[in-house]
Amino acid sequence: MKRRPTRTPHNPAGAFAPDALTVGARHLEVGAERVASFAVTGYPREVSAGWLQPLLTYPGRVDVALHVEPIDPVTAANRLKRQLAKLESGRRHTSEKGRLIDPHVEAATEDAYDLSARVARGEGKLFRVGLYLTVHATSADDLTDEVAAVRSLAASLLLDAKPTTYRALQGWVTCLPMGLDQVRMRRTFDTAALSAAFPFTSPDLPPADPTSVAAPDGVLYGYNIGSQGLVHWDRFALDNHNAVILGRSGAGKSYLVKLELLRSLYRGIENYVIDPEDEYARLAGAVGGTYVRLGEQGVRLNPFDLPVRTRPDGRRTAPPDALVRRSLHLHTVLGVLLGELAPGDRAVLDEAITATYAGAGITEDPRTWTRPAPVLEDLATVLRASANRTAKNLASRLHPFVRGAFSGLFDGPTTTRPSGHLVVFSLRDLPDELKPVGTLLTLDAVWQRISDTADRRPRLVTVDEAWLLMKQPAGAEFLFRMAKASRKRWAGLTVATQDTPDVLATDLGKAVVANAATQILLRQAPQAIADITRAFNLSDGERQFLLSAERGQGLLSSGTHRVAFQAIASPTEHQLVTTNPAELAALGEIPNAGSDSSAAEQYPLPAEARELLTDDNGEFFLDAA
């Protein structure tokens, strides 16, 4: 009988095994490669989503292994109890001996109490987590360089990476995709910290459609400080289109608002701005916008104007409840002018407003609504002619605004009804006493444009330094109503202010903030950070970031998504939006635009900007918009 020759059994794993393996104290030679492994033993106190992203995107070859082992609730509770007992015992011993309190022990005790409370309430669980790194290189010198670079990167993330000395083989095996942790240097994590460490988390904002390969929609705000990616944000894709921007003076609020405004013009969005300090003059002139300077001679806004619109066929129409709504709005205007009104004052004013309209021939009949509207002087005349003492008192309180020093804004019919792709209302020339009512009147004029159902298009309304209006209860209430109703009119309200504590101190101010789906926090003053922290539920890391943020850096928040970003502008955009006095002096003195001015020749448009704003036919496309 012949015997068949024996054969070596086929080993499929042999194709993946290294040719040779040399074990050293701190590194391995795996075939032609050299590898060194590290175990992370120290972690930052607080982490954010995607905090492992820098390690995962390291340009060299680095294996990152995360080993997770859940801890059953009973064991977790017992361990936390023992740990709290140790910490409390140490604190008491330190206090009894009269020694200085260790801040690290204090921080650990606070964290342990917080974690124990969350575990007891079932808001999270505990896990034993091991984080290991393996660095690959082709030579000893390259390995030394790569190890130094990876450890520096880990140190920048506040991670303490220790080499697996005399356990190089175990460290390498631990980083292989076999689920074996042979180093077992672990740290206790809770659910929130562990979820933030998963590889599929990212510090970038999630795209509206993750399956789409098209370019992101929205406006470019800047770059993500955490990932260096770009931050695109589309306010019109959210539940409401409002935004609130809060920051201390000099933090870059107006700079960011103007950048968003300029870039939204490219998307065909119509913009209206209330400018208290002529900061938008250069931008308006450069893009061919309309600039209305309230407070100049002959520039007037009549609060009695009914919202009558001229249709393309020449007919003039108004909403069916136009007279009633205008009467209610006049109560708001007079409340801002005269201060808080008593119920008796309101009753007298209501009768006087009705009589004033009747004196101009305007009644409940809609056919009379196209007649010329009365002015504030007519209301004062009606009040003076009344025998009621309250009416005469109100007439005397109105005197400065109809015949006195503040009458310039009200002493005649409305002089202009501006329209266009960008309309800026300047309040700089108005006396301080008239700036709140000037803001209110311009918002009302803008609201009439937004409410026109025959002209549907996306619009943004920007109220810079909104505290001017919100310090008046009636003005804050109007702003709140506008924030609530803008979404139904395809419009978004942008509220920017530096008086954050004053805004958050009132219920209406908090309501305006709560009705903004986009919330941007720039650098905050130490005196205001406590209110900001409570209102926006900031973490300690976010709180410190807002206290130390540089100009243009901020925190974009929308629902559960938050991202720290740095606003960026091209040189041409920077020239149009900067308010730095030194840079403006270098650019030359800015001429003053006249009332209702759209004369772009007063504001020379840079050649680069003219090229960007010109279509393929050589036409300035914003004029067509």
pLDDT in tens, 45-73: 777 777 887 888 788 889 999 999 888 87
Q: Looking at residue 314, what is its pLDDT?
A: 62
Query: 201: closest CA among 225, 226, 180?
Result: 226
Q: Looking at residue 600, what is its pLDDT?
A: 40
Report the alpha-carbon distance of residue 345 to residue 324 in Å, rounded.
18
Q: Looking at residue 216, what is its pLDDT?
A: 64
Q: Looking at residue 620, what is its pLDDT?
A: 43
Q: Looking at residue 592, what is its pLDDT?
A: 43
Give residue-wise pLDDT tens across range 328-361: 888 888 888 887 778 888 888 888 888 888 888 8
8-15 average pLDDT score: 52
Query: 190: closest CA among 41, 43, 82?
Result: 43
Domain positions in the chain: 20-71+125-197, 235-301+420-615, 318-413
Q: Looking at residue 203, what is its pLDDT?
A: 65
Q: Which CATH class is domain 235-301+420-615?
A: alpha beta
Q: Are 430 and 231 in contact (CB under 8 A)?
A: no
Q: Looking at residue 440, what is its pLDDT?
A: 82
312-328 average pLDDT score: 75
Query: 443: closest CA among 490, 481, 487?
Result: 481
Q: Looking at residue 621, what is its pLDDT?
A: 41
Model confidence at 274: pLDDT above 50: yes
Confidence tier at 209 by pLDDT (50, 70, 90): low
Model confidence at 302: pLDDT above 70: yes
Which range has the worst mean pLDDT, 36-50, 201-215, 246-260, 291-305? 201-215
Per-range mean pLDDT, top range of 203-217, 418-432, 541-555: 541-555
Model confidence at 206: pLDDT above 70: no
Confidence tier at 193 by pLDDT (50, 70, 90): confident
Question: What percentage of the chain carries pLDDT values higher than 70?
Answer: 86
Confidence tier at 612 by pLDDT (50, 70, 90): very low
What tokens appear for 211 in the block? 């399956």
Model confidence at 429: pLDDT above 90: no
> Looking at per-residue confidence, does 319 or 255 come out higher?
255
Which range has the worst mean pLDDT, 190-194, 317-321, 371-375, 585-589? 585-589
597-607 average pLDDT score: 42
Query: 357: closest CA among 379, 380, 337?
Result: 379
Give the CA distances from residue 322 to residues 319, 329, 370, 490, 543, in Å, rounded to whole numbers and listed in that order: 5, 10, 11, 21, 47
Q: What does CATH list as the number for 318-413?
A: 1.10.8.730
> Looking at per-residue confidence, does 467 or 10 come out higher?
467
Confidence tier at 1 by pLDDT (50, 70, 90): very low
217-228 average pLDDT score: 81
Indicate if the alpha-carbon torsion angle 596, 598, 604, 606 is positive or negative: positive
Reduced to 3 states (helix: H, G, I; strand: E, B; else coil), residue 30 is strand
Q: Looking at residue 310, what is its pLDDT?
A: 65
Query: 285: closest CA among 313, 257, 258?
Result: 258
Model confidence at 607: pLDDT above 60: no
Q: Looking at residue 602, what is its pLDDT?
A: 40
| CB atoms near residue 102 (< 10 Å) | 13
Tell me the one-letter amino acid at 549.
A
Confidence tier at 583 by pLDDT (50, 70, 90): confident
322-338 and 389-402 helices cross at what angle (nearest 10)?
A: 80
Query: 426: closest CA among 276, 557, 566?
Result: 276
Confidence tier at 101 by pLDDT (50, 70, 90): confident
Domains 235-301+420-615 and 318-413 share a fold: no
Model confidence at 84: pLDDT above 70: yes
407-426 average pLDDT score: 80
Residue 257 has, within 13 A of its CA and on its CB side, a CA count of 32
Average pLDDT, the chain: 79
Model confidence at 233: pLDDT above 90: no
Reduced to 3 states (helix: H, G, I; strand: E, B; else coil), residue 84 is helix
Model confidence at 6: pLDDT above 70: no
Model confidence at 5: pLDDT above 70: no
251-267 average pLDDT score: 88
Which range has the worst mean pLDDT, 35-44, 317-326, 560-569? 317-326
Model confidence at 114: pLDDT above 50: yes
Q: Looking at residue 213, what is its pLDDT?
A: 54
Give residue-wise pLDDT tens across range 486-523: 888 888 888 888 877 777 777 778 888 888 888 899 99
319-328 average pLDDT score: 82
Which range has the worst mean pLDDT, 22-26, 449-453, 478-482, 526-530? 449-453
Model confidence at 117: pLDDT above 50: yes
> Looking at per-residue confidence, does 67 or 411 come out higher?
67
Model confidence at 608: pLDDT above 60: no
Report the alpha-carbon distance of residue 228 to residue 220 in Å, rounded.
13
Burial of 20 (0-12, 13-18, 19+ CB in 10 A): exposed
| CB atoms near residue 560 (< 10 Å) | 6
Q: Looking at residue 588, what is its pLDDT?
A: 66
Which range has the worst mean pLDDT, 174-188, 289-303, 470-484? 470-484
